[in-house]
């Protein structure tokens, strides 16, 4: 009886596994037709990884009222770049990226290194003020003033204050592509007086006392790399495509120095009070989304508000608030897969460090243990390609692709809380400095307690949605089209 029963069970199991096998086959066949996800590699032409000198503007993407075109600062889509003001120098870009990351780490550091850095650089700056981070490499053009004038700004989810260089440049202005904003020609410009409760409020949002100069409210921002901007807190009409935000508080920069060259200033999309997201909260419900273009020669978008609604293919993960720096958007990163294989990294590695998403950091920074696991697996899967030593101190896993027509790159996915996996676009895996040097576009933090940063190289081609009220961040692959 027992044997007859067990052979019956065995038979059921065989039948079951046969059908399971069929299902699996059907499932895999479907996967193959959707993408080359099945073998977990991306096969790309090496030539397609090289920069192009002609702009292919995306005609797709959400065409909503408050949608701005996103361009790469050093790409051919930033058309007015006639005088070669902006030439991409990878060495310089990666050095700036490291100083941005160092500033972010010092802001989160528990032994208040942030304050130390603040004091040591205070010599050239009149006031105590919040140290801020460097500038991003993706730009949008907004209208400032009445009549409006175009100003091209780097947009930055890691800072709050929007600023632009302003005439008469009482200190000094660096060269920019657009004409420098002249408040005396705008009928909607107003100075913010000092001392006033508003000035106190604006200053305290940056953690400093109010500062007056000629009875006007002064701001100053210093960046980790030594760059700075000083000027007046002012109110002005901001135009986003055809949308108008009146009495928008911004920094009218009178003394601006550093590595911003070419662009007029910065558009702050952080979580703090003075950011555009908060100032226009009523209009846009603290909701925005963007897609960073896949190449320097194509375009993406930055959309404020929900527009036509939310795509059903977006996957949302909780947006976390980091108690030490509330301007940043926090994420719960819990895992990584390479070539379809989940790496065995203890979740405590991620929870010890914490994670933010930042539009201005270029290369994703991971806790050292996580990076080492990623690197090991990646190298194993790339073993058919000749490895070379890197010319950059950021990277340590680089390949010479000059003798190849195409390259098969292992896919990489990031896993977030709420059961969300984000399959990175194939363009976000290798950072190509030149044909003879293509590097794994991730880096390890030095200290396991340093915060991890989901950088913009890895966000390329994804739609990224920030829903501050809903406290969630959404991702959708193939987001620029
Ligand atoms: C993965 O698929 C691509 C085509 O999409 C193919 O060229 C490549 O050889 C495959 N790789 C492996 C390891 O099977
Ligand atoms: C790129 O930037 C680095 C660091 O600022 C500099 O030393 C180098 O000369 C620059 N290269 C070019 C080609 O301008
Ligand atoms: C703002 O202040 C400047 C200098 O103090 C002054 O020249 C200008 O007229 C003021 N603008 C307005 C709109 O009050």
What's the CATH code of the domain at 118?
A: 2.40.70.10
Alpha helix ranges (H) inside 368-446: 368-381
Separation CA 42–CA 294 (nearest Å): 15
In short, whether 196's Cβ falls inside 6 Å of ligand 1 is no
Q: Is residue 235 part of a domain?
A: yes
Question: What's the confidence (pLDDT) of residue 457?
Answer: 96
Separation CA 336–CA 443 (nearest Å): 14
Same domain, 449 and 370: yes
- Nearest atom, ligand 3, residue 234 CA: 1
Q: How confident is the model at residue 86 (pLDDT cuts 50, 70, 90)?
A: confident
In short, whether 157's Cβ falls inside 6 Å of ligand 1 is no
Mean pLDDT of the 315-335 span: 93
In short, whether 38's Cβ falls inside 6 Å of ligand 1 is no
pLDDT(51) > 70: yes
Question: What's the confidence (pLDDT) of residue 58?
Answer: 73
CB under 8 A, 24+ apart: contacts of 395-399: 395/431, 395/439, 395/440, 395/441, 395/443, 397/439, 397/440, 398/433, 398/437, 398/438, 398/439, 398/440, 399/430, 399/437, 399/438, 399/439
**Over the stretch 110-151, which tens digit does the pLDDT of each residue have?**
654 433 333 333 333 333 334 455 567 899 999 999 999 999
Q: How confident is the model at residue 4 (pLDDT cuts 50, 70, 90)?
A: very low
pLDDT(13) > 60: no
Take atom 12 of ligand 1 and give the residue whose Cα is closest.
39
CA of 66 to the centre of ligand 2 (A): 37
Take atom 13 of ligand 2 and give the residue whose Cα is closest.
89
Q: How confident is the model at residue 64 (pLDDT cuts 50, 70, 90)?
A: low
- 1 versus 470: which is more confidently predicted? 470
User: By the 8 A CB rule, do 401 and 385 touch?
Assistant: yes
Q: Is residue 427 part of a domain?
A: yes
**Over the stretch 232-276, which tens digit does the pLDDT of each residue have?**
999 999 999 989 999 999 999 999 987 677 889 999 999 999 999
Same domain, 316 and 283: no
Q: Helix (H, G, I), strand (E, B), or coil: what is residue 462?
A: strand
Same domain, 152 and 238: yes
Instruction: Provide the residue range defining the domain that includes 372.
Output: 311-477
- Nearest atom, ligand 2, residue 87 CA: 14
User: By the 8 A CB rule, do 177 and 263 touch?
Assistant: yes
**Ligand found nearest the CA of 45:** 1
Same domain, 139 and 113: yes
Q: Is residue 27 part of a domain?
A: no
Q: Does the annotation count 83 as an active-site position? A: no
In short, whether 41's Cβ falls inside 6 Å of ligand 1 is yes
Question: What's the confidence (pLDDT) of residue 341?
Answer: 96
CA of 397 to the centre of ligand 1 (A): 22
User: By the 8 A CB rule, do 444 and 438 touch?
Assistant: no
Q: Out of 41, 45, 382, give the residue to mutate to test ligand 1, the one with the largest number of ligand atoms within 8 Å of its CB.
A: 41
Mean of per-residue pLDDT scores for the chain: 85
| Cα end-to-end distance, the chain, whole Å | 64
230-234, 305-309, 375-379, 476-480, range with the lowest pLDDT? 305-309
Question: What's the confidence (pLDDT) of residue 133?
Answer: 57
pLDDT(63) > 60: no
Question: What's the confidence (pLDDT) of residue 380?
Answer: 97
Q: How confident is the model at residue 100 (pLDDT cuts 50, 70, 90)?
A: confident
- Ligand 3, CB within 6 Å, residue ranges: 189-191, 214, 216
Same domain, 266 and 356: no
Residues 6+ apart with CB under 8 A from 154: 73, 135, 136, 137, 138, 139, 260, 263, 265, 266, 267, 360
**Over the stretch 157-179, which tens digit does the pLDDT of each residue have?**
988 999 999 999 999 999 898 99
Q: Is residue 1 part of a domain?
A: no
Q: What percent of the chain has pLDDT over 70?
A: 83
CA of 409 to the centre of ligand 1 (A): 10
In our burial notation (b when 16+ CB lie closer than 10 A, e otherwise), range 299-310 reads bbbbbbbebeeb
Take atom 14 of ligand 1 and give the residue whose Cα is closest.
39
Assigned token pair, 446:
């030095």
In short, whether 411's Cβ falls inside 6 Å of ligand 1 is no
Q: How many structural domains is the chain composed of? A: 2
Boundary (domain end) residue, out of 303, 320, 352: 303
Boundary (domain end) residue, out of 259, 281, 303: 303
Same domain, 288 and 393: no
Separation CA 307–CA 144 (nearest Å): 22
Residues 6+ apart with CB under 8 A from 426: 42, 44, 409, 411
Same domain, 316 and 286: no
Q: Out of 34, 43, 338, give the residue to mutate to test ligand 1, the one with the largest number of ligand atoms within 8 Å of its CB.
A: 43
Question: What's the confidence (pLDDT) of residue 20?
Answer: 44
Same domain, 191 and 70: yes
**Over the stretch 191-229, which tens digit does the pLDDT of each residue have?**
999 999 999 999 988 778 899 999 999 999 887 667 889
User: Measured at the alpha carbon of residue 72, what is the angle toward residues 178 and 423, in degrees to the nearest 5?
Assistant: 155
Same domain, 256 and 387: no
In short, whether 376's Cβ falls inside 6 Å of ligand 2 is no
In short, whether 182's Cβ falls inside 6 Å of ligand 1 is no
Q: Is residue 403 part of a domain?
A: yes
Q: What percent of the chain has pLDDT over 90?
A: 64
Q: Is residue 157 part of a domain?
A: yes
8-22, 99-113, 120-134, 296-310, range with the lowest pLDDT? 120-134
**Ligand found nearest the CA of 411:** 1
- 480 versus 414: which is more confidently predicted? 414
Active-site position among 97, 225, 243, 358: 358
Mean pLDDT of the 25-39 span: 41
Q: Out of 74, 88, 92, give the residue to mutate to test ligand 2, the one with the largest number of ligand atoms within 8 Å of its CB.
A: 92
**Over the stretch 330-358, which tens digit does the pLDDT of each residue have?**
999 999 999 999 999 999 999 999 999 99
CA of 269 to the centre of ligand 2 (A): 30
pLDDT(184) > 70: yes
Same domain, 117 and 197: yes
CA of 36 to the centre of ligand 1 (A): 7
Task: Determine phi and psi for 342, rounding to 5 degrees.
Answer: -70, 125
Q: How confident is the model at residue 81 (pLDDT cuts 50, 70, 90)?
A: low
User: By the 8 A CB rule, do 181 and 166 touch?
Assistant: yes
Q: Is residue 257 part of a domain?
A: yes
Q: Out of 167, 183, 215, 236, give the residue to mutate to test ligand 3, the one with the largest number of ligand atoms within 8 Å of its CB.
A: 183
pLDDT(455) > 60: yes
Same domain, 232 and 358: no
Question: What's the confidence (pLDDT) of residue 135?
Answer: 65
**Ligand found nearest the CA of 99:** 2
Same domain, 235 and 326: no
Question: What's the confidence (pLDDT) of residue 286?
Answer: 97
Question: What's the confidence (pLDDT) of residue 38?
Answer: 58
**Ligand found nearest the CA of 183:** 3
Q: Is residue 116 part of a domain?
A: yes
Q: Does the annotation count 358 as an active-site position? A: yes
- Nearest atom, ligand 1, residue 39 CA: 1
In short, whether 92's Cβ falls inside 6 Å of ligand 2 is yes
Boundary (domain end) residue, out of 303, 320, 353: 303
């Amino acid at each position: 009886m027992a044997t007859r029963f067990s052979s019956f069970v065995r038979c059921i199991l065989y039948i079951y596994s046969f059908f399971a096998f069929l299902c699996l086959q059907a499932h895999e066949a479907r996967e193959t037709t959707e993408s080359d996800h099945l073998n977990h590699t991306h096969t790309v032409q090496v030539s397609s990884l090289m920069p192009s000198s002609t702009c292919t503007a995306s005609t797709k993407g959400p065409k909503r009222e408050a949608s701005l075109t996103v361009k790469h600062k050093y790409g051919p889509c930033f058309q007015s770049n006639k005088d070669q003001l902006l030439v991409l120098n990878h060495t310089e870009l990666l050095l700036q990226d490291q100083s941005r990351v160092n500033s972010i780490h010092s802001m989160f550091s528990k032994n208040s290194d942030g304050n130390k850095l603040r004091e040591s650089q205070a010599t050239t700056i009149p006031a105590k003020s919040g140290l801020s981070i460097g500038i991003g490499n993706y730009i949008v053009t907004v209208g400032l003033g009445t009549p409006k004038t175009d100003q091209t700004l780097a947009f930055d989810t890691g800072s709050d204050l929007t600023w632009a260089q302003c005439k008469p440049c009482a200190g000094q202005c660096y060269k920019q592509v657009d004409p420098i904003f002249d408040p005396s020609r705008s009928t909607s410009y107003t100075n913010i007086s000092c001392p006033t409760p508003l000035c106190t409020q604006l200053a305290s949002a940056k953690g400093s006392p109010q500062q007056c100069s000629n009875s006007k409210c002064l701001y100053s921002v210093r960046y980790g790399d030594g760059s700075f901007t000083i000027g007046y807190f002012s109110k002005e009409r901001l135009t986003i495509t055809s949308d108008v935000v009146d009495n928008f508080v911004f920094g009218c920069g009178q003394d601006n120095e550093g590595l911003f060259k070419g662009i007029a200033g910065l558009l702050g999309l952080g979580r703090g009070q003075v950011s555009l997201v908060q100032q226009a909260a009523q209009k846009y419900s603290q909701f925005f989304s963007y897609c960073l273009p896949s190449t320097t020669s194509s375009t993406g978008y930055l959309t404020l508000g929900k527009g036509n609604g939310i795509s059903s293919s977006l996957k949302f993960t909780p947006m976390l608030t980091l108690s030490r720096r509330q301007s940043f958007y926090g994420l719960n990163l819990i895992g990584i897969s390479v070539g379809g294989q989940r790496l065995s990294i203890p979740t405590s590695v991620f929870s010890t460090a914490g994670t933010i998403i930042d539009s201005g950091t270029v290369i994703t920074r991971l806790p050292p243990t996580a990076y080492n696991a990623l690197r090991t697996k990646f190298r194993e899967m790339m073993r058919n390609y000749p490895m070379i030593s890197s010319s950059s101190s950021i990277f340590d896993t680089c390949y010479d692709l000059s003798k190849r027509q195409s390259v098969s790159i292992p896919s990489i996915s990031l896993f977030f809380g709420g059961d969300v996996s984000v399959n990175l676009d194939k363009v976000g895996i290798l950072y190509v400095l030149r044909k003879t040097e293509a590097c794994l576009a991730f880096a390890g933090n030095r200290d396991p307690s340093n915060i991890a940063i989901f950088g913009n190289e890895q966000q390329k081609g994804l739609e990224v949605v920030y829903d501050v009220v809903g406290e969630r961040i959404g991702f959708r692959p193939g987001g620029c089209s």
